[in-house]
Chain A
Amino acid sequence: MSALYDILSNTSHVHLLLNHVPTTAFTVALALFVAGLALRNDMLKRTSLALFLIISAVAIATYTSGSAAEAWLRGTNPMSELPPNVLSNAILEHQDAALWATLWMGVTGFFSWLTLWQWKSVRRLPSWNMPLVLVLAVMSFVTMSRAAYLGGHIAHVEIRPDVVKVHQACLAVVDEETKHPGSIANAPANCPWQAAVDQVAKTTGEPPPYQSTARAVGDFVIGHTWMWPTLETLHFVGLCLLFTTVLIVNLRLLGVMKVVPYSAVYQLLPIGMLGFAVNLITGMLFFLGIPNQYNANPVFYWKISFVLLAGLNTAYFMLADDTWRVESNVDAPAAPKIAAASAIFIWAAVLYCGHMLPFIGNAF
């Protein structure tokens, strides 16, 4: 147990744990989606759409844990020097790639959700729906793969093209010298990777600092006094829309205003999703503005964990069929009731954690 605690409380570990999901799990989901389209199999299509939704929730956690991993490595106050094989520019470049990938993934998650929602609420899916999700999913896959590729460069010297080139040149020299001893003057005895890293650093010199887009957006947020209060107000409005939808839909399942069928309260869900979208966008802007307020903040960690649970809970409601048997004046079965009570608890917990960021955690 204590080993598990050590792993999960090290944000670098958490990032390493999460960052394979948006690439590998997404590949599986994309393959299922394409298969579903090709075979015209609704079950496959719906499953893969729900996976897109869950993976986009994981992408949020992956992005934020990546920022926390950077803070773990660099330190916040005082800053520590990066290990010799870690390139500062590689971190920033990876972060920008990840920001774009998270954005595409978020849009993919939103339209996957919308498609699942329309599945039950409209008689025929609009014709643009599936092609749009396919295009978005491919874009997510491409941008996420790029983020993953660049992420690898941060600490893995063996995949940096310039280092590999120097290393292989060295190996060739050693090989030649072994075959024909004395043929090369001052031939090295062996080729440590660090020597290649050092040589690359020596020949290319100090690289110009990478212009981070994430930081530019963050500087815009904190550089304008009206930004933060405006974003907060919007975050509050979004919270009202989201929380009320959660309450009305789930309290109906739990037995309030039974005369209304589930199919009617289901129509409210886009209002809740609008609230979530507003809060995700404003929340990301807070995060980009002052990342260190959240990076080492245990309450933020919990908040994101509850958002992940909320993603799973939403996926249940999008896939479950037994909620649809809840007609007018019908009591909901046990499973939807448990999911409904969980939904209220989870979102209340998200709100609790968000509120407590400055009080229990170290924000502000």
Chain B
Amino acid sequence: MAFLQTIENLGFSQWVKQSGSLWAFPGILLMHTYGMAVLVGVIAAIDLRILGFVPAIPLSPLRKFLPLVWLAFWVNAITGTMLLMADATSKMVNPDFGIKMLFIALAVITQLMLQKRVLADPEVDRRPLTANAKMLAVASLVCWLGAITAGRLLAYVGSSTGL
């Protein structure tokens, strides 16, 4: 707890939380929202394609969007860490935050499996998709939906300060 308090007392954490600057809390949260839109949006589009929506788009060209997905992931990892630092003492003991991290961990594992087993396959557009691929897509959608829900609820459960 003392460690969390030290982090929260850092000059940077205090700036994020209390400076009132648009570049601090609002700006960091904005980048987190853009990151979420790109990360979850593009992954959801690929998942829906695997589940049979929009069959006209072949899967392999969608690989071109993966660097964008991972860019968005790292933007959110960094901005998320900044937001966490500003509110470490309450967020780290909030069970909802643990649930969010669990969903994200599972979603990232699912995404890596999807990339390795489905998207990386050079024959992916020539063969019907396996039931396993579809299961992974469903798991991915569920985990990201869970992460968004848990993330939004962070503003409501526990002793929260942010929006």
- Give A contacts to B, CB under 8 Å: 229, 232-233, 236-237, 239-245, 247-248, 251, 256-257, 259-260, 263-265, 267-268, 271, 348, 351-352, 355-356, 358-360, 364
Which chain B residue shows the least CB distance to A229? B156
Given A229-B152, A233-B149, A260-B57; A244-B30 close (CB under 8 Å): no
Which chain A residues lie closer than 8 Å to B145 at the CB level?
Answer: 237
Which chain B residue shows the least CB distance to A268? B54
A-B contact pairs, 26 of them (CB 8 A): A232-B152, A233-B152, A233-B153, A237-B145, A240-B37, A240-B41, A240-B44, A241-B44, A242-B41, A243-B38, A244-B44, A245-B45, A247-B41, A248-B45, A251-B65, A260-B57, A263-B56, A264-B54, A264-B56, A264-B57, A268-B54, A271-B53, A271-B54, A351-B34, A355-B30, A359-B26
Which chain A residues lie closer than 8 Å to B30 at the CB level?
Answer: 352, 355-356
Judge whether B48 and A265 touch: CB under 8 Å.
Answer: no
Bound CA span A360–B53, Å: 39
Which chain B residue shows the least CB distance to A245? B45
Given A236-B148, A245-B45, A355-B33, 4 other A-B residues pairs in contact with their CB atoms under 8 A: A256-B64, A257-B64, A264-B54, A264-B57
Judge whether A351 and B40 touch: CB under 8 Å.
Answer: no
Judge whether B64 and A244 touch: CB under 8 Å.
Answer: no
B residues 139-163 near A (Cβ < 8 Å) are 145, 148-149, 152-153, 155-156, 163
Judge whether B45 and A244 touch: CB under 8 Å.
Answer: yes
Among B41, B45, B53, B153, the one with the most A-chain Cβ atoms within 10 Å of its Cβ is: B41
Which chain A residues lie closer than 8 Å to B36 at the CB level?
Answer: 236, 240
Interface string of B19-37 (1 = CB under 8 A from A): 0001001100110011011
B residues 52-81 near A (Cβ < 8 Å) are 53-58, 61-62, 64-65, 68
Judge whether A271 and B45 touch: CB under 8 Å.
Answer: yes
Bound CA span A319–B156, Å: 44
| A-B residue pairs, 5 tightest by C-beta | A244-B41, A359-B26, A243-B37, A240-B41, A257-B61
Interface residues on B, range: 35 or more
Does B42 count as interface, using CB distance less than 8 angstroms? Answer: yes
Query: Out of A237, A267, A358, which one reaches B57, CB within 8 Å?
Result: A267
Given A264-B56, A271-B53; A243-B152 close (CB under 8 Å): no
Which chain A residues lie closer than 8 Å to B68 at the CB level?
Answer: 247
Given A271-B48, A271-B54; A358-B41 close (CB under 8 Å): no
Judge whether A356 and B26 touch: CB under 8 Å.
Answer: yes
Which chain B residue shows the least CB distance to A360? B22
Given A244-B44, A257-B65; A267-B37 close (CB under 8 Å): no
Judge whether A243 and B41 touch: CB under 8 Å.
Answer: yes
Bound CA span A99–B34, Å: 31
Bound CA span A68–B37, Å: 30
Which chain B residues lie closer than 8 Å to A260 at the CB level?
Answer: 57-58, 61
Bound CA span A232–B58, Å: 33
Given A256-B64, A358-B163; A247-B42 close (CB under 8 Å): yes
Bound CA span A240–B152, Å: 14
Which chain B residues lie closer than 8 Å to A364 at the CB level?
Answer: 163
Which chain B residue shows the least CB distance to A228? B156
Judge whether B33 and A351 touch: CB under 8 Å.
Answer: yes
Query: Out of A229, A244, A355, A358, which one reaches B42, CB within 8 Å?
Result: A244
Question: In the complex, what's the smallest C-beta–C-beta distance from B58 to chain A, in angstroms?
Answer: 7
Question: In the complex, what's the smallest C-beta–C-beta distance from A111 to chain B, in angstroms?
Answer: 20
Question: In the complex, what's the smallest C-beta–C-beta distance from B138 to chain A, in angstroms?
Answer: 16
Query: Out of B37, B44, B148, which one reaches A233, CB within 8 Å?
Result: B148
Bound CA span A239–B38, Å: 10
Judge whether B41 and A241 touch: CB under 8 Å.
Answer: yes
Which chain A residue shows the least CB distance to B31? A355
Judge whether B57 and A265 touch: CB under 8 Å.
Answer: yes
Which chain B residues lie closer than 8 Å to A243 at the CB level?
Answer: 37-38, 41
Bound CA span A271–B33, Å: 19
Question: In the complex, what's the smallest C-beta–C-beta distance from A344 to chain B, in angstroms?
Answer: 11
Which chain B residue shows the least CB distance to A264? B56
Question: In the complex, what's the smallest C-beta–C-beta distance from A244 to chain B, in angstroms?
Answer: 3
